[in-house]
Structure 1
Amino acid sequence: MTARRIEHLSVADRKARGKDARDNTPLTSHLGWASAADRPDPIALLEAQNATREQDLVPVRHGRMLVSPFTFYRGAAKIMAADLKGTPRAGLISQLCGDAHLSNFGVFASPERQLLFDLNDFDETLPGPFEYDVKRLCASFTIAARNNEFSPADARDVTLSAARAYRESMRDFAQMRVMDIWYAHLSEEELINNFNVARAGEKGKAQRKAADQIEKNTRKGVAKARTRDSLQALSKLAEYVDGNYRIVSQPPIVIPLRELATTFGMNEEETEAALIEQLRSYRDTLQDDRRHLLEQFHVIDVARKVVGVGSVGTRAFIALLEGRDQQDPLFLQVKEATTSVLEDHLPKSRYRQPGERVVQGQRMMQAASDIYLGWTKGVQEGRFLYWRQLRDMKGSAVVETMKPFAMAFYARECGWTLARAHARSGDPVAIGAYLGKTDAFDLGIMDFSERYADQNAEDYEAFAEAVKSGRLEATEGV
């Protein structure tokens, strides 16, 4: 095998590369976005995705997207990927989340049991232009702000907060040593400290009172996240029957495999054999120490479990494993990995197995990743999966109840986090030089975000009409 040649440029050359990119793709080029004349039908793009999904769950996906333009946006990554392909690009590549909207950030536990704030969804991850993630993130803030009925000024402030934080943080990372970037993370303590700094700038009794309430809710949310582990999941998702635990049937959200086996064309014995083979294949993708750890557990039960918005309809399962005894559970989540929506418009992944693409992208972007991250090929042809813990002190912000101050703070933390993720895999010196010291990039991204929010609203109305006309079927409230 031929070793890959690595180019090591000087800092001066890397800065020059970023400034040259600015000449070729001016920061002002991000202003004035308009949809392409030959823009594909957004409803047709969703229908194309539905073709390979679990058909009984497709209406559930539509129902969740139908709640609001914001939830529609969460499920419309494929539509935005098609729109981004024609947008200005500086030619500076990073590992992309691929779906970096504001609800795909949250807290979870590091292997050292420290709570971290980070990106937490990598189904669409792929190397690509850094601008794609920034635009996906900032447009999500504009759409969420409008959904929360913020004033136009407050919505712009929230969006600018995310864009500015990304630009300024990337320029900070450009000054840091390589290992310092790699070790950079946002811990629970740093998150609270950042909030206190932001709160100190608030003036007026009402503003300070609101900030106090936000801090209280944040600490409450963090404390709740610490309780979300496999033992807690056992009490919520399982029942004790005939001396053993098993996953409770809650159709259509949770359906145990014992009720689903015939759906996949297998009898009970074939299903059990397939599970054992899947677990063995998955173990082989783990590091030796983690493989040894997993071997201390055995599978008790498996169920299909619906998650998210955009992911609904792709195959997703939970597996209940048992360690030393019945009070030593481990819940794993097994999700289907398909080709990234970005692969329609960017070079294909270097990984032939989509599950490995997701796992390797996550490891590249996150400050710390789940010790049980791994992948397998599904039992059926053309199906691929990745594995991780179901609950490991995971928690997320409730975006729909946020006020302007809280959302602006959250936008800054997301902007920093995305910049750090890109700095790990891309060239922070070149990207920082491209972004520059002024707010030109921030304003360009804000302008794009407002225009794209308008487009998203139009697409949502077309989607709602497709449901009303019967073109699409939707099951609401699930």
Structure 2
Amino acid sequence: MIDPVRAIRSFNAGRDPERLALKYRAMRQSRFAFLRGSCHLFYDRLPAAKLFTKAPTAWLCGDLHLENFGSYKGDNRLVYFDLNDFDETLLGPVTLDLVRALTSILVGADVLHVSQDEALDLCQSFLDAYTRSLLDGKARWVERETAHGLVRHLLEALQDRARPAFLDTRTLRKGKRRLLRVDGQKALPASDVQREPVTALLAEFAATQPHPEFYTVLDLARRIAGTGSLGVDRYVILVQGNGSPDANYLLDLKQALPSALAGHVATRQPKWATQAHRVVGVQQRMQAVSMAFLHPLQWNQQSYVLRGLQPSEDRVSLDRTQQSMTELEGVIRAMGRLTAWAQLRSSGRGGSATTDELQDFAAGRKWGKNLMAVAQDCARQCTEDWKAFSTAYDAEAFKG
């Protein structure tokens, strides 16, 4: 018998209290935010079924939900729309990613402002696009020239986002110098005890790069971002880049922890040098083009993922009150295709199924109906757990 309140407190023990309080507050706001913040509980709750043992093995995002698709600038300087969070990535049955994605649509019905019947239709759209893309067998990608609908609108709008304006939203400009804006919304102050090792780590990394002066640290702060990872050791770093003040760059440094799926898959996993090597290694396999500045770093016994923070990072805002169902379906179908393409792109590597095996799986459509039924059960369970969490939160069980 799982006590959701106890499970959540136990999983998050030891995290930065200030940011952990922000995480709990966010999780209280909606079922969808709760789902995002309790990936571990989702897999603890997942029912035993052949769906999750007999399906072909693939590289998984591990935390596939609506908010883990977005835009970013690749290391080739082009902007893409793709899966963009791989903290929980592992090798496992493809159905694990699918059931979490479908559950996120059902649980997210409130924030999407769609009915449950409409949410089920969106789930079917996701599955249809996913299976058709697997059957096609070709790993494609989404950039501005290949995007459609709301995704294309997003990528076109990003062309107008300039670096100086982006820096102005995250920093305070003082003459030819910038300092990070520590506002309690996107960043919190870092102590000297936190600053020193991070600065040393980046200097160590910079010494291995062609232009080490690019990574000269000008300022750093504790970063506030996401939901599930809030409270994990994470920093936003302002570096010299190509020159102050308007050619400075922002970097994200995030501690890599073991995947929440680790105890839930029987699949034999490759041996990675560190948890950060796992995250970066799989991200490079699954994304069409890797994010700019993506590197695994190690400091003492901890490992971190380094990447760039760019003006081009954004998500499609999904809201039935602002968009038609046809527009929403277009984005959901794009997400289904991207999931399939990521699995095809990484197929046959490190123990994952081949493209032929994935296509055979897609051809057997009975599993889709069964998966939809399980996703509905997961959504109901998530709702119950959120209510229990909310009751405990309101009673200040998570305070301090």
Q: Could you state the TM-score of these two structures normalised by the residue count of structure 1?
A: 0.75
Does the CA contact (< 8 Å) of 1:144 and 1:399 recur in 2?
Answer: no
Cα distance, 1:370–1:219 mapped onto 2, change above 3 Å: closer
Task: Report deviation, 1:425.
Answer: 2.0
Opposite residue 155 of structure 1, the aligned amino acid is A
Q: Secondary structure at the match of 1:168?
A: helix
1:323 equivalent in alignment to 2:248: no
Unpaired runs of at least 5, structure 1: 1-37, 196-214, 265-270
Cα distance, 1:279–1:160 mapped onto 2, change above 3 Å: same
Task: Report deviation, 1:294.
Answer: 5.1
Does the CA contact (< 8 Å) of 1:170 and 1:420 recur in 2?
Answer: yes
Number of residue pairs matched?
Answer: 387
1:468 equivalent in alignment to 2:399: no
Opposite residue 56 of structure 1, the aligned amino acid is E
Quick check: which has more Rg, 1 or 2?
A: 1
Aligned partner of 1:170 in structure 2 is 134
| Partners of 2:181 and 2:203 in 1: CA distance | 25
Aligned partner of 2:17 in structure 1 is 55
Task: Report deviation, 1:398.
Answer: 1.5
Opposite residue 202 of structure 2, the aligned amino acid is L
Q: Out of 306, 309, 323, which is 1:387 matched to? A: 306
Cα distance, 1:373–1:418 mapped onto 2, change above 3 Å: same
Opposite residue 42 of structure 1, the aligned amino acid is P
Q: Out of 129, 136, 140, which is 2:93 matched to? A: 129
| Partners of 1:87 and 1:43 in 2: CA distance | 25
The structure carrying a bigger helix percent of its residues is 1
1:104 equivalent in alignment to 2:68: yes
Name the stretch that deviates more: 164-173 or 145-154: 145-154
Aligned partner of 1:28 in structure 2 is none
Q: Out of 86, 89, 93, which is 2:57 matched to? A: 93
- The percentage of counterpart residues that share the same residue type is 25
Aligned partner of 2:256 in structure 1 is 337
Q: Secondary structure at the match of 1:188?
A: coil
Name the stretch that deviates more: 297-306 or 236-245: 236-245
Does the CA contact (< 8 Å) of 1:282 and 1:374 recur in 2?
Answer: no
| Partners of 2:231 and 2:198 in 1: CA distance | 21
Q: Deviations over 1:220-254 (max 9, x none)?
A: 53344334564333211222347522112213641
Aligned partner of 2:180 in structure 1 is 247
| Partners of 2:141 and 2:277 in 1: CA distance | 24
Does the CA contact (< 8 Å) of 1:163 and 1:445 recur in 2?
Answer: no
Q: Could you state the TM-score of these two structures normalised by the residue count of structure 2?
A: 0.89
| Partners of 1:165 and 1:219 in 2: CA distance | 18
Cα distance, 1:128–1:148 mapped onto 2, change above 3 Å: same
1:412-423 matches, cutoff 5 A: 412-423=333-344
Opposite residue 166 of structure 2, the aligned amino acid is A
Aligned partner of 2:155 in structure 1 is 222
- Which of the pair has the greater relative contact order for Cα pairs under 8 Å at 6+ separation? 1
| Partners of 2:177 and 2:260 in 1: CA distance | 42
Aligned partner of 1:306 in structure 2 is 224
1:425-440 matches, cutoff 5 A: 425-426=346-347, 427-436=354-363, 439-440=365-366
Aligned partner of 2:147 in structure 1 is 191
Does the CA contact (< 8 Å) of 1:163 and 1:446 recur in 2?
Answer: no
| Partners of 1:114 and 1:388 in 2: CA distance | 15
Unpaired runs of at least 5, structure 2: 348-353
Does the CA contact (< 8 Å) of 2:91 and 2:269 recur in 1?
Answer: no
| Partners of 1:466 and 1:403 in 2: CA distance | 37
Superposed CA RMSD in Å reads 2.4
Does the CA contact (< 8 Å) of 2:143 and 2:155 recur in 1?
Answer: no
Cα distance, 1:130–1:73 mapped onto 2, change above 3 Å: same
